Chains A and B, each alone.
Chain A
């Protein structure tokens, strides 16, 4: 069974440009989460989808970040325009519904460098 996959693994862009990160969750997982780790800091929650709906987006830093999950399958996280402080590793995780939802499976992350 394929795990959570993220693309690209690494992205280097200039300040002001746009970047789109993609996450493919484990098939059948209704819950999808985005997290970010800024260098040296903790991994922080960004938002949570249940199927195609945003359940909790309290961790999104500002309106330059837009997350979508079309049809309840893969998700994208767009940063537009990117700023220097957006650099970090963006993780995606997915989990099943019900009692199994508290076990989250993580992808390898996308390392974003904004220059």
Chain B
């Protein structure tokens, strides 16, 4: 069975600082991995996805994530935080049947 662990339910960073949101997964098969973002009163928006191609995946809004099989991790990073990045971020893994398994989410606060 698949599962996702997001370390840190709340993360605060200063504007301009590095953003690092952690995600570890367990999967019995090569996974598809995703990061979604939810801004207030909006739906979940796909940031980026890993589907067994390049291990470093670039997404929208300057975010990227690196798939590390040896560490079963898929951490999300952004070199410089912007105020507009404040939102809730969800890591997810899907199984071959396309069922998604989400983490508990990380709320990102950006401090001016």
Contacts and interface: CB of A to CB of B under 8 A. Distances in A.
Looking at chain B's contact residues, the main secondary structure is: strand
B98 A102 contact: yes
Interface in B86-112: 90, 92, 94, 97-105
Interface size on B, as a range, is 20 to 34
Contact of A42 (B41, B94, B97, B105): B105
Nearest to A9: B41
Interface residues of A, number: 26
A13 interface: no
Interface in A33-70: 33, 35, 40-45, 48, 56
Contact of B94 (A3, A56, A102): A102
Given A42-B105, A102-B51, A108-B41, A56 B46 contact: no
Contacts, number: 54
Contacts of A48: 98-99
A102 B32 contact: yes
The 10 closest A-B pairs by CB, nearest first: A106-B44, A43-B102, A106-B43, A108-B43, A42-B104, A42-B102, A107-B43, A45-B99, A102-B32, A108-B42
Interface of B: 4, 9, 32, 36, 41-46, 49, 51, 90, 92, 94, 97-105
